[in-house]
Structure 1
Amino acid sequence: MTTTATPVDNGVNVEALLGARAALQDAPEAAQFTWRATNTWIRGTHSESTVTGFFGLGAEQEADRSFTTSGDHPPQFAAENNGPTPVETLLTALGGCLTAGVAAVAQQRGIQLNSVTASIEGDHDIRGILGGDPDVRNGFNEIRVTYAIDADASPEDIQALVAQSQKRSAVFDALTNPTAVTVSVA
């Protein structure tokens, strides 16, 4: 493994993460988290999603945490282009989760990152969601993530960073393994 001569600072507090992992081994009930989001229709295909807290470590965690994003579709879908489409948001979630993992693993392994860019593409036959062909699935046919990483490390070490990030990514796991999803009306 290649490491730098000076201390590595990728902005990740590895000691805190390792401390949390150790603490949760002794208290696995505290590791049970529930993440939440609310989505509200605005008009047409435009909606707004809000995240305002979560449950974890045995309690509600709400302090100073609120994020809002818009979602819509482009004019090619007879929409007003007020935000990314839901499938584009899914791609950004995958890229964000994998990239956070790259930074954390690099920090722990003593590898200084200079730049990290993930290009994420998803192939999607939209005849499925439009009801144009019942044999076409609604989701992506394939998703590709390509990294450009400049780091003080060998190509093999960089490849290992990405592999470990993929192994630990919650979003990658949710996309590549069956996840139970229940939809209901209150």
Structure 2
Amino acid sequence: MGTSVTVRNGIDVDQLLGTIKAIESDPGLGGFTFKATSTWTEGTHSVGRIQEFTHAGVQDTSRSEGFTLEADEPPVLLGNNAGPNAVELLLQALGFCYATGYVANAAALGLEITSLQIEVEGDLDAGKFLGLAGPRAGFTAIRAHARVSSPNATREQLEDLCRHVQDTSPVRDSLAAPVPVETTLQVV
């Protein structure tokens, strides 16, 4: 007789709970180093490549192909719209992170999600980026709005879930708290 797997919101709940227990037992298993490479092509257009990452000190080999992303600027910022710009990708990263947080945490709580949409917008003054006066080079405010439907969750459960997702989101934490960024240069 086969073992029954509990899948909720597309998440294997048994595997999720097993991962949580494993990291709880050995916190070193929670360590990851992710990597992205950007190569400039022309103008404001660049191509990004994401493939390898390290988990618990070991190179992951699960991605045989990797992912390619294109980034550009809109014409008003000297680009050709060959892709979203970097700050739009940052907003999208927050939306993706929130979505994962919602469905995985809901699954662990026994809550079904039938629809979920995360809308993220941010305000930015390009002056500083262009070498002019400006409040800062980055966003001055970011707003996220989630629309979620669940047949078996109360409004209070979904509000608790929303707070939990914000408190545990790696992308939100990286945006909201200072993160040391070290940049080096190799002249070739």
Q: For 1:71 and 1:136, how far apart are their aligned partners in 2?
A: 25
1:178 aligned residue: 178
TM-score, normalised relative to structure 1: 0.90
2: CA distance between counterparts of 1:159 and 1:65? 38
Q: How does 1:31-180 map to 2 (within 5 A)?
A: 31-63=30-62, 64-133=64-133, 135-152=134-151, 153-180=153-180
Is the 1:37–1:51 contact (alpha carbons within 8 Å) kept by the matching residues of 2?
Answer: yes
SS at match of 2:8: coil
Shift of 1:21: 2.2
Match of 1:3 in 2: none
* Pairwise CA distance, 1:15: 1.9
Q: 1:26 — aligned with what?
A: 25
Unpaired runs of 5+ residues, structure 1, are 1-6
Asked if 1 retains the 8 angstrom alpha-carbon contact of 2:49 and 2:68, the reply is yes
Matched position secondary structure for 1:41: strand
CA shift, 1:14, in A, is 2.5
Identity of aligned residues (%): 35
1:58 Cα offset (Å): 3.2
1:65 is displaced (CA, Å) by: 4.7
For 2:52, the aligned partner's letter is G
Unaligned runs of 5+ in 2: 1-5
Q: Do the aligned residues in 1 keep the contact of 2:22 with 2:29 (CA within 8 Å)?
A: no
Deviation at 1:8, TM superposition (A): 6.9
SS in 2 for 1:111: coil
Larger mean CA deviation between 26-35 and 85-94 belongs to 26-35
Q: CA deviation at 1:163?
A: 1.1
Contact 2:17-2:108 within 8 A present in 1 as well: no
Partner of 2:15: 16
Q: C-alpha displacement at 1:127, in angstroms?
A: 1.2
Q: Check the 8 A contact 1:53/1:66 in 2, yes or no.
A: yes
CA distance in 1, matches of 2:114, 2:27: 36
Native 8 Å contact 2:35 2:53 kept in 1:
yes
